[in-house]
């Protein structure tokens, strides 16, 4: 754990030193080439704007309307049907929020942790779920937006399959280890 | 599918707000989100420029190609449609590595660079290629060794052991990634299937 943390701490400084150094040793005009590459940053960011605006508006309207609470309420019987423990229903909002909004999910997870305690079953489960997948909609919007892809084919399905698997795996492993 | 999901989010949000007597929320949220979209994009410019500049240096020094070659057995399995020496593979590896180390700031620029390179190989301008779908499947299931943000939240909430969820997180994210790769393989085999 501490080794990995140290690697994370040193990775960027090492990258910042070693890449220009290696390039210089191979006779690359380091500063000029760096600037030429960096020029692309502006246009890439600008290109994403329409995609981000479109997706964020839909997601924020959905989240702020309180639709997640209603959806969570409707999904409760499903949990009962599978014979899962009752308190699991309290993580439904987090499960719905996770692929939609990174900051939204972090907010819900933080609230669950504050309410039930970080070392409770729900606190550990929320923590695990938060780290188990990335924000699918954000990643797809930004990545596809940057190259002007509008037709996602099966990419969204793949992202959601990963999210659902991450959710089920989180419930399984936390129940098993900390149940 | 993305069209249906987009409309679903928007329509359900507006209907729920209307039925619960909070229709004003729709207006304020829509305007705030539109503004946020631009802010997020603008805030990316500096970091994007830094990493794209370094990427170009790494490319010209031959480092990206060397990295791609070193991990070739793996990339050939996952990205059979990308030529062996293509710079896309180097960018993909850097993106995944940054994700694993939890370096979100560096991961996005590398990922966008990878998309740019993959787009050069793409036959259809506005439609995702198979390699892009595979890459994003890996990316959204994002294997991270240390979920730093949630550990900080747990620490603040006086957890007796803030890092005890590292093991469970790696297990869950590993399952998610395996499922995504497997599903991607199945989708790819259904040749030409538009889903």
Q: Is A117 in a helix, a strand, or coil? A: coil
| Interface probe with A: pick from B165, B170, B178, most Cβ of A within 10 Å | B165
CA distance B32 to B37: 9
Q: Of A74-83, A129-138, B79-88, which gets the smallest average pLDDT?
A: A74-83
At residue A26 the predicted structure's pLDDT band, cuts being 50, 70 and 90, is very high
Q: Count Cβ atoms below 10 Å from residue B55 Cβ, excluding itself.
A: 26
- Of A72-86, A99-113, A135-149, B37-51, the range with the lowest mean pLDDT is A72-86
Q: What confidence score (pLDDT) does residue A162 get?
A: 95
* A31 and A73 assigned to the same domain: no
Q: How many CB atoms lie within 10 A of CB B28?
A: 12
Window from A66-70, B96-100, B172-176 with minimum mean pLDDT: B96-100
Q: Work out the pLDDT band at A154, boundaries 50, 70, 90.
A: very high
Determine, for residues A1 and B166 on separate chains, whether the beta-carbon distance falls below 8 Å.
Answer: yes
Over range A143-165, report the average pLDDT. Answer: 94
Does residue A93 share a domain with residue A15?
Answer: no
Grade residue B145 by pLDDT with cuts at 50, 70 and 90: confident
The 10 Å Cβ neighbour count of residue B32 is: 15
Identify whether residues A166 and A119 lie together within a single domain.
yes
Q: Contact A41/B56, CB-based, under 8 Å?
A: no
B53-105 residue pLDDT tens:
998 999 899 888 888 888 888 888 899 999 988 889 999 999 998 888 878 77
ipTM: 0.90
Torsion of CA B107, B108, B111, B115, to 10 degrees: 180
The answer for B62, left when phi > 0, alpha when psi is -120 to 50, beta otherwise, is left
Q: Is A144 at the interface with chain B, CB within 8 A?
A: yes
Residue A66 confidence class, pLDDT cut points 50, 70, 90: very high
Q: What pLDDT score does B192 carry?
A: 54
**Which residues constitute the domain of residue A90?**
40-178
Do residue A8 and residue A51 come from a single domain?
A: no
For residues A144 and A63, state if they share a domain: yes
H helices of A65-154, in order, are 67-81, 92-100, 102-116, 121-132, 136-146
Let me know whether A96 and A19 are in one domain.
no
Q: Say yes or no: A117 and A128 in one domain.
A: yes
Q: Kindly list the residues from chain B whose CB atom is less than 8 angstroms away from the CB atom of residue A133.
A: 140-142, 173, 176
Same domain, A22 and A67: no
Indicate yes or no: CB of A165 within 8 angstroms of CB of B160. no
Whether the per-residue pLDDT at B193 is higher than 60: the answer is no
Give the integer Cα–Cα distance in Å for B138 and A44: 22
pLDDT number for residue B11: 96
**Same-domain pairing of A53 and A19:** no
Asked if residue A84 and residue A147 are part of one domain, the reply reads yes
Round the average pLDDT of chain B to a whole number and report it.
90
Instruction: Supply the mean pLDDT for chain A.
Output: 91
Question: Under an 8 A CB cutoff, do A22 and B63 touch?
Answer: yes
pLDDT at B126 over 90: yes
Asked if A49 and A33 sit in the same domain, the reply is no
Q: Are residues A84 and A137 in the same domain?
A: yes
Q: How confident is the model at residue A80, as a pLDDT?
A: 74
Q: How far apart are CA B36 and CA B22, in angstroms?
A: 22
């Amino acid at each position: 754990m501490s080794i990995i943390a140290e690697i994370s701490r040193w990775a960027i400084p090492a990258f910042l030193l070693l890449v220009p150094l290696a390039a210089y040793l191979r006779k690359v005009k380091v500063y000029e080439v760096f600037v030429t590459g960096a020029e692309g940053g502006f246009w890439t960011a600008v290109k994403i704007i329409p995609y981000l605006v479109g997706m964020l508006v839909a997601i924020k309207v959905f989240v702020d309307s309180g639709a997640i609470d209603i959806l969570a309420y409707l999904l409760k019987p499903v949990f009962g049907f599978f014979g899962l423990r009752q308190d699991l229903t309290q993580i439904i909002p987090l499960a719905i929020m996770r692929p939609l909004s990174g900051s939204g999910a972090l907010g819900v997870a933080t609230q669950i942790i504050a309410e039930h305690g970080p070392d409770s079953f729900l606190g550990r489960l929320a923590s695990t779920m938060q780290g188990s997948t990335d924000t699918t909609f954000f990643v797809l919007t930004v990545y596809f937006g940057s190259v002007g892809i509008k037709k996602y084919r099966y990419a969204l399905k793949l992202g959601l399959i990963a999210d659902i698997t991450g959710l089920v795996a989180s419930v399984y492993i936390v129940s098993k280890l900390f149940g | 599918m993305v069209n249906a999901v987009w409309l679903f989010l928007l329509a359900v949000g507006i209907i729920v707000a209307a039925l619960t007597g909070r229709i004003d929320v729709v207006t304020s949220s829509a305007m705030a989100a539109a503004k946020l979209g631009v802010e997020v994009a603008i805030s990316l410019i500096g970091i994007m420029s830094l990493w794209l500049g370094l990427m170009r240096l790494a490319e010209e020094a031959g480092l990206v190609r060397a990295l791609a070659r070193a991990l070739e057995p793996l990339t050939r399995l996952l990205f059979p449609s990308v030529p062996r020496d293509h710079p896309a593979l180097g960018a993909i590896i850097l993106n995944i590595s940054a994700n694993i180390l939890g370096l979100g700031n560096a991961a996005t620029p590398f990922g966008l660079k990878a998309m740019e390179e993959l787009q050069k190989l793409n036959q259809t301008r506005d439609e995702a290629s198979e390699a892009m779908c595979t890459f994003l499947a890996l990316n959204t299931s994002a294997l991270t060794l240390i979920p730093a943000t949630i550990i900080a939240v747990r620490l603040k909430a006086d957890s007796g052991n803030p890092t005890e969820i590292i093991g469970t997180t790696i297990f869950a994210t590993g399952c998610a990634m395996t499922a995504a790769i497997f599903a991607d393989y199945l989708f790819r085999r259904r040749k030409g299937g538009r889903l």
